[in-house]
Amino acid sequence: MSAINEKLFENYASTHAGIIDGTHQQQQVRADTRSNLNYPAILPTNKNAKILEIGCNKGYFLHWLRSRGYTDLTGVDLSPGDIAAAKEYTMLPELYCIDGIDFIADKPGAYDVIVFRAVFEHIEKQYSESFLRAVGKAIKPEGKIMIEVPNMDWFMAHHERYMDFTHEVGFTRESLGQLLRLLFEKVEIRPVHEGYFSFAGMIRIKILKPIVKRIMGGMFAIMGEGANDMWWSNRAILAIASKPKTEIMDSKS
């Protein structure tokens, strides 16, 4: 990690997240809404499954998991401010301020699920394979990893890509799948649905958005060049990968 990124992550809560985030209640409602739409079908049915979130921020996703009945939850984050806030907010005992790869280095086959949301875009491209290899080694044989990243096909992706100075790379469903298929036998990429959590949001999502999507979809179809095949209306994408390739995981390159 570069020196500037180390400084930025050490001060992430005060220089970035604390500036753009809302209150705990606002953030939790948004997290609950998105999580309810995108995650229940891909989580283990066993509520005692060991779940690790790398880059847990202030603990909103872990809080949601606990509300769904999951009991064995661990979170790590590089931001001391975010971890302190997560401890106070969630009261979960297993929260650590540490690099996720360092945390799992001595835990082979330990987790049923490892999830990292809005994390992988912060990993320098040259370290992306070693990062995924380490995560693949830390899941159980039937375990899975879940990766949520900003979608570079989104029509406002230029803002998403550069809104955070620690962002290192951007992904489309094609490029994320390309990298994951190098290391995992089973890979699925799906769009993330935002949902709504207010009356105004319901009007926007349920009534206005379908109209705008139809108009813009027609424009992209006219443009051609594959434009109408992009997931331009989804801000984020979610990958689910399992069955690490043994020859890749055992490789030192």
- pLDDT in the model for residue 231: 82
**C-alpha dihedral sign at 125, 115, 8, 23:** positive
**Helix runs in 128-233, H state only:** 128-138, 157-162, 173-183, 199-202, 209-223
Angle, helices 173-183 vs 128-138, to 10°: value is: 60
Q: Report the alpha-carbon angle 139-141-145, nearest 5.
A: 40
d(CA 189, CA 238): 6
239 and 160 in one domain? yes
Pair 132, 78 in one domain: yes
- Number of domains within the chain: 2
**Does 217 lie in the same domain as 172?**
no
Looking at the structure, tell me whether residues 135 and 206 fall in a common domain.
Answer: no
At 147, list the tokens. 């990766």
- Do residues 44 and 165 both lie within one domain? yes
pTM over 0.85: yes
Model pLDDT, residue 12: 80
Same domain for 131 and 208?
no
Residue 104 is predicted with a pLDDT of: 97
The enclosing domain of 112 has a CATH number of: 3.40.50.150
pLDDT value of position 227? 61
User: Do 168 and 98 have their domain in common?
Assistant: yes
Nearest CA to 230 out of 150, 156, 152 is that of 152
Whether 180 and 218 share a structural domain: no
Taking 70 as the pLDDT cut, the residues of the chain under it are: 17-21, 199, 224-228, 247-249, 251-253
In angstroms, the Cα distances linking 249 to 80, 123, 130, 138, 218 are 31, 19, 9, 11, 44
Per the structure, the complete domain to which residue 141 belongs is given by 3-194+234-249
For residues 165 and 211, membership in a common domain is answered with: no
Q: Do 47 and 101 have their domain in common?
A: yes
Asked if 55 and 108 sit in the same domain, the reply is yes
Q: What is the identity of the amino acid at 71?
A: T
Per-residue pLDDT of 209-252, as tens digits, reads 788 778 877 777 777 666 667 788 889 999 999 999 986 667 66
pLDDT for residue 230: 77
How many CB atoms lie under 10 A from the CB of residue 141?
8
Q: Which of 82-86's residues contact partners 24+ apart within 8 Å by CB, and which partners? A: 82/12, 82/13, 82/17, 82/56, 82/57, 82/58, 83/56, 84/13, 85/13, 85/58, 85/59, 86/56, 86/57, 86/58, 86/59, 86/62
